Structure 1
Amino acid sequence: MIFLCLLLFISYILTAPKDAVNAASVGLVLWYTRVLPTLLPFVILSNILMDSNYLQYLNKITAPLVSRLIPVSDNGAFVLLSGFLFGFPIGSKNCAALLASGKITRREADVLFIITNNISPVFVTSFILYTQLKLSHLSAVTLLILYFPALLLGSILLSTDARRTKDRTAFHAQKQPASGSQMNFKIIDTGIMDGFETLTRLGGYIMLFSMIASLLQKLPVPHILTLILTGMVEITNGIAMLPDSGLPQSVQYVLAVVYTAFGGLSGIAQTSSMIRDTPLSIKHYCIAKLLLAACCGLLACLVSQIFHL
């Protein structure tokens, strides 16, 4: 099946080179104009914080507040905040990095990896609700239905682990030997180069899946099926198709929420690249994302009824 899909994809590029090139250009422009300037600074700063050991000072400020909402360790609080505020895929990247360095436990990483890898609030409010759907008045409630189920799931899983151990401190990662914080140009250079490597890899995935989304639109299937498949493969292309789909606004809103909560196959591929060489399970991630997408979709249906979309 994989070989047949690759053969179909190559045939599409050879038989419709103009469409394939345009799709690749759209993906690269999206990466260059939106993803790169938005995520690169956060990736570089996260790398510098973790490598220089200055993260401990930030954790002293944020961890007491975050741990009141969800039972995480100090370093887990940083993963949680970076994943929700900065956006996908920084959550999975930081989670994998801190797990590899032994600063969070395997179980905590398993849970945080699933719940923190979300589309950023800026993308949701600006691109999805304001630019595409013209529903900016639903920004607050949309962010709530997208993020609350993930936070609730994480809180339940981590609280269960804490009760099983009967010792809250046993849940947290073991304390590392105290080491002095340091900052030098080697750390900064490494953080910058790692940031560019990470974002370049993301650019390749975005371009590839933009071309796959373009291919799906050429298949002889009903338009609604094409719309759903495109959104589940690459959310940006799928959401961009919604305003001209002819569907009721309520259906457009629900589909946009489902696409965003799931993250698309493109998002799964990008996430998989962030956790390579770690024991984190992409299979468990996919299952959790499907469940969260279904939950968010039901909440979106309720919101569309309340606001009479």
Structure 2
Amino acid sequence: MNVQVLKTIFLASSMTIIAFSIILLPEHTLDASKSGLSMWWNIVFPSLLPFFIISELLIGIGVVRFIGVLLEPFMRPLFRVPGSGAFVWAMGIASGFPAGAKYTAHLRQNNDITAIEGERLVSFTNCSNPLFIFAAVAVGFFHNPSLGIILAAAHYIGNILVGLVMRFHRSEDRFTKSYERSPLGRLPRAFKALHETRLYDDRPFGKMMGDAVHSSIKTLLMVGGFIILFSVLNELLGVIGFTGMVASIVNVILIALHISPALSTPLLSGLFEITLGSRLISESSALLLQQTMIASFILAFNGFSVQAQVASILADTDIRFKPFFFARVLHGVFAMVLTLVLWKPIYVEWLSSGTKTLPVFHRENSTSIIDQLYGFFEQTGPWLTLIALIVFVILSIRRMSIQLQ
């Protein structure tokens, strides 16, 4: 039978089963939807929106081109991507997923990178942000601030290793995009690129800012939809018994790796949605080292929810999703191994010793900066989200009225 026919049958059957599950299990569907919406409304939207808007403006003004010319000698030899990839990498770390995919797609749409360079770049720039690792996972779920150091180190070092491996992706491909040689120094050439980009984009600054707000909110609405969808899918798969059935198979693999089978269900949940998976991992009866290794894996894997967001963003370009998925599996393996390697020298011998040398993240009888930042988003996040959505509606109505004129 034709592969496409099998794919059609699989998709139709899956969607039908999910639809009937939603109809038959409305209470579970509603609870999962509310949980996903709460996370997006309170934390994800207000924490990502400022980064997205500022990044759109930096790209439009030409700052990204400026950075690209300056950092070309660093990014090109190491990762075989243009210097502007450094901006994508930095924003991916600062704001978290799916920022790396969003900015990679933006560079590709502006023809600043080739499709192959985009596949290399997105593979190591779509990562979790420090706020989520330290505040949500380490403090919120594990109640152990020191654990954030291990998770962050394994996550970001693993990302660098993925980038170094993915530089060999399509190694026969020749660089087709490079900056022209010029008798000017690198700094003057960078400023020239910035100025030319600003002149080329002749939108007034007010129009540029409005477009940045509209585009950023539109992307975050898509992100919220995926978070809610996969929260519901994860809940329904558990209720109908699918998760338990697959967990019995995963148990065999975990036992072979000398990892507690109690982590099988949390692992499967984390493959769909990392927040729920991280919480279930912290509540399991496994050893702390094993819990941390599995948490590192699902943070690096991103979960199918984030991967679906990335696939949706990349669909507007000719950047393929398969290399990104391979990179996520590779990152998961790297993160697990790095957690095991770093556990004794960093967590056991340093962080768990009698002298605590990390007061920034853990102070006795005080609240850490990370805790304060996370609490800020929990308290003010809903209002920021509401105001931003009102602005989005106003901008959308204005755009429609202009088009109808």
Equivalent of 2:283, from 235, 241, 244? Answer: 244
Q: Which residue of 2 aligns with 1:235?
A: 274
SS in 1 for 2:333: helix
> Does the C-alpha gap of structure 1 residues 134 and 50 become closer, same or farther in structure 2, counting only changes over 3 Å?
same
Query: How far has the Cα of 1:267 moved from its partner?
Result: 0.9
Deviates more, 1:181-190 or 1:150-159: 150-159
Residues in 1 aligned to 2:75 and 2:319: alpha-carbon distance in whole angstroms: 23
Q: Which residue of 1 aligns with 2:313?
A: 274
Q: Deviations over 1:10-47 (max 9, x none)?
A: 22222221111010011011001111011111111111
Q: Which residue of 2 aligns with 1:142?
A: 151
> Does the C-alpha gap of structure 1 residues 149 and 187 become closer, same or farther in structure 2, counting only changes over 3 Å?
same
Q: Which residue of 2 aligns with 1:292?
A: 331
Residues in 1 aligned to 2:173 and 2:323: alpha-carbon distance in whole angstroms: 21
The AA in structure 2 aligned to 1:134 is H
Residues in 1 aligned to 2:301 and 2:123: alpha-carbon distance in whole angstroms: 11
Residues in 1 aligned to 2:119 and 2:169: alpha-carbon distance in whole angstroms: 14
**1:84 to 2:93 alignment:** yes
Query: How far has the Cα of 1:161 moved from its partner?
Result: 8.3
> Does the C-alpha gap of structure 1 residues 72 and 281 become closer, same or farther in structure 2, counting only changes over 3 Å?
closer
Q: Which residue of 1 aligns with 2:54?
A: 45
Query: How far has the Cα of 1:71 moved from its partner?
Result: 5.6
**1:186 to 2:195 alignment:** no
CA contact (8 A) 2:82 2:113 kept: yes
SS in 2 for 1:190: helix
Matches within 5 A, 1:163-174: 172-174=177-179
CA contact (8 A) 1:103 1:174 kept: no
Percent identity reads 25
> Does the C-alpha gap of structure 1 residues 102 and 3 become closer, same or farther in structure 2, counting only changes over 3 Å?
same
Structure 1 unaligned residues grouped into runs of 5+: none
CA contact (8 A) 1:242 1:252 kept: yes
> Does the C-alpha gap of structure 1 residues 212 and 179 become closer, same or farther in structure 2, counting only changes over 3 Å?
closer
Residues in 2 aligned to 1:28 and 1:21: alpha-carbon distance in whole angstroms: 10
Residues in 2 aligned to 1:179 and 1:128: alpha-carbon distance in whole angstroms: 40
Q: Which residue of 1 aligns with 2:216?
A: 195
> Does the C-alpha gap of structure 1 residues 277 and 303 become closer, same or farther in structure 2, counting only changes over 3 Å?
same
The AA in structure 1 aligned to 2:287 is P
Q: Which residue of 2 aligns with 1:217?
A: 238
Q: Which residue of 1 aligns with 2:292?
A: 253
Query: How far has the Cα of 1:240 moved from its partner?
Result: 1.5
- Decide which structure has the larger Cα Rg and report it: 2
State the superposition RMSD in angstroms.
Answer: 2.8
Query: How far has the Cα of 1:248 moved from its partner?
Result: 2.3
Equivalent of 1:33, from 27, 42, 46? Answer: 42
TM-score (normalised: structure 2): 0.68
